[in-house]
Amino acid sequence: MKLGHTSLSIFTALLFTLVTLLSASAQAQTETYRARLSPMPTTPQTVTTITGEGEVILTLQGNSLSVKGNFKGMNSVATMAHLHNGPPAQPGPVVHPLEVTLLPAGEITAELELSDAQVTALRKNELYIQIHSQTNPAGELRGWIFARK
């Protein structure tokens, strides 16, 4: 059986629609990451003054990174938060500031545009989040970012 002009047109339109949908799906594909926030390095002398916990979910779409999380139990009010670049357990420089509730507990958010190098770092677990506080200006909570399981 041969396809007529009408049938061919319908087939072409369907094929175009399918390709478009697949392309859109690929563009919309997101990667989800998670950081568990826990106290910065501590000792028996500081264990009661470096406290708290939190969780941050990060969504990567293209080079756009959405950051949404919460924290609680810090020893004092948060003063600032940053996204840092460093391999797991090896501190490194700040790459982006993050919005943080200026209280001992609250939310941490950001809508960021990452460079290609930063996206690569994210996928290699070489980005981390750090929240600073009034009594721990060098940082109170920290967590490396890993692909969400």
Partner 1 sequence: MKFTLSNISKALLVTGLLASLVACSDEGEDQASATIAGVTFASQAEAGASTFATNCAACHGANLEGTTLGPILSGQAFVQRWGERTPAILLGNIQANMPPGGNDSISTDDYINLVAHILSSNGVDTVVNELTASTDFTIADNISQVVARRQRAAPPSPQGITIAGTVENFVPVTDAMLENPDPADWPMHRRSYNAHSYSPLDEINTENVGNLTLEWVWNMHEGDSEPAPLVYNGIMYLINPGNVIQALDAKTGDLIWENWTGPANRQDMRNIAIYNDKIIQATTDARLVALDARTGEQVWETVVADSSKGFSNSSGPIVADGKVILGLAGCANYIPEDCYISAHDANTGELEWRFNTIAKANEPGGDTWGELADVFRAGGETWITGSYDPELKLTYWGTAQQKPWVPVSRHLTIDDVGLFTNSTVAINVDTGKLDWFFQHVPAEALDLDEVFERVLVNRGDEKLVFSLGKYGILWKNDRVSGEFKGFKETVFQNAFTNIDPVTGAVTYREDIQNAKLNEWTSACPSSTGGKDWHSMTYHEPSGTIIAPLSQTCLENAAREVALVQGGGGLAASRKFFEMPGTDGNLGKIGAYNVDTMEEVWSYQQRASFHTGTMSTGGDLVFVGDLDRRFKAFDVKNGEILWETRLGTSVQGHPISFAVDGKQYIAVTAALGGTSPRSVPAVIATEIVYPQSGNAVYVFSLPD
- Binding residues for partner 1, rule: CB under 8 A, are 36, 38-47, 87-91, 125, 128, 142-144, 146
Quickly tell me which residue has 């545009």 as its tokens.
Answer: 113
Interatomic CA distance for residues 82 and 98, integer angstroms:
5
* Cα 34 to chain centroid, rounded: 7
Among 145, 143, 131, which Cα is nearest to 75's? 131
Judged by beta carbon, residue 38 or residue 70, the one nearer partner 1 is 38
Residue with Cβ nearer partner 1 (6 or 43): 43
Give residue for tokens 């396809």.
3
Smallest gap from residue 42 Cβ to partner 1 (A): 5
Chain position carrying tokens 């929240």: 131
Residue 41 or 62 with smaller CB distance to partner 1: 41
**Shortest Cβ distance from residue 143 to partner 1 (Å)?**
8
CB closer to partner 1, 28 vs 89: 89
Q: Report the distance separating Cα 54 and Cα 143, nearest Å.
A: 9
In angstroms, what is the minimal distance from the CB of 32 to partner 1? Answer: 15
Min separation Cβ 109 and partner 1, Å: 22
- Coil/strand/helix, residue 56: strand
